[in-house]
Amino acid sequence: MYSFFVENKKGEVLELTHNDNYAVVEIDGLAPGEAVINTSHDVGADGSVFNSSYHSDRTITLTLAINYPAEANRIDLYKYFQPKSSCRLRYKNSRRDVWIEAYVSRFNVSFFEKKQVAQIVMTCPKPYFNGQEKEAEMSKSHALFQFPFEAPTEFSTLERNIGVSMLNRGDVYTGAVFTIYAQTDINHIGISNEMTGQAFIVDTIVRAGESLVVNTNQKEKSVYINKSDGTVESVAGYFSGDWVTLQPGLNEITLTVAGSALAEVAIVEKYEGV
């Protein structure tokens, strides 16, 4: 059994399964998406050389039978699936509860059939499904984070490395949002993932009461300080190294900071399909 929901920009949610007004005929595009593989060929040589690869936009096509009263039920769908506008799709089964942002490109209806059927075509520029937001706390006796994670953890260090184990239950690598809250003036702030070899340093001063935020998610990358006067200052110029990501499975993350700080880490696990 599964459940399928749509949420519009107003935050209104409509369940399309277990709904007497509609019958879901088919949802195409829930499996792992299509990848584009770039290769190059050498003259006189067999085969090719791999250069790069990336996922194409995901296309989800929803086919619905519209039950009586067809006119009212069809028009109600227009509030959720507006061409060129965005919506959020949520799919839930016994193993996964995921969501994805989609943009409606086409809404076709068989008006003159005995049983009206709507076919809604949507494009997802970010092709991975996202796990639901969750919270967890670090055990005082065992430094294990269960992700997605949004809980402050104290790192009182003076040029010391503090390591924690982070578990990514998703299918693919994912970025993270690292927030370092300065309890005293801090500098030389570093994050590394010992499992992937990725590491970065932000070599600037963050004053007591301020926070440094490093977002390593694709299409959202940024480095800035939330100042004590309420302003935001970009410090991307002081960033060097890799945009640290978390691999599927176990990750060993290390924080280095001169001074005393609280650290908050948040990720959303990514899934290839349902």
137 vs 160, residue with greater confidence: 160
Q: Cα separation of 226 and 236, whole Å?
A: 13
Residue 71 backbone dihedrals phi, psi, to 5 degrees: -60, -50
Span 18-33, mean pLDDT?
93
122 lies in the same domain as 148? no
Spatial contact of 100 and 27, defined as CB atoms under 8 Å apart = no
pLDDT exceeds cutoff 70 at 136: no
pLDDT in tens, 34-91: 888 998 888 878 888 888 888 889 999 999 999 999 999 999 999 999 999 999 999 9
Reading the block at residue 242, the tokens are 């890799």
Per-residue confidence at 137, pLDDT binned at 50, 70, 90? very low
Whether pLDDT at 230 is above 70: yes
Domain membership flag for residue 232: yes
**Residue range(s) defining the domain that contains residue 86:** 3-127
Number of Cβ within 10 Å of residue 250's Cβ equals 12
- For residue 45, is it within any domain? yes
For 193-207, what is the mean pLDDT? 94
Burial of 125 (C-beta count, 10 Å sphere; 0-12/13-18/19+):
exposed
Same domain, 114 and 7: yes
Q: Are residues 101 and 32 in the same domain?
A: yes
**Statement: residue 20 has pLDDT above 90:** yes
Model confidence, pTM: 0.81
Q: Which of 9 and 43 is assigned the larger pLDDT?
A: 9
Helix, strand or coil, per DSSP, at residue 106:
strand
Q: Is the same domain home to 170 and 86?
A: no
Lowest mean per-residue pLDDT among 26-30, 33-37, 161-165, 219-223: 161-165
pLDDT at 157: 41
Are 21 and 118 contacting, i.e. CB atoms less than 8 angstroms apart?
A: no
| Distant-in-sequence, close-in-space partners of 166: CB < 8 Å, separation ≥ 6 | 145, 147, 149, 246, 250, 251, 252, 253, 265, 267
pLDDT bracket for residue 256 (50, 70, 90)? confident
* Whether residues 55 and 149 fall in one domain: no
pLDDT at 21 over 90: yes
- Taking residues 200-207, report their average pLDDT: 94
Percentage of the chain beyond pLDDT 70 is 88
Max avg pLDDT among 42-51, 154-163, 263-272: 263-272
Same domain, 152 and 261: yes
- Same domain, yes or no: 176 and 264: yes
Residue 138 lies in a domain: no
pLDDT at residue 118, as a whole number: 95
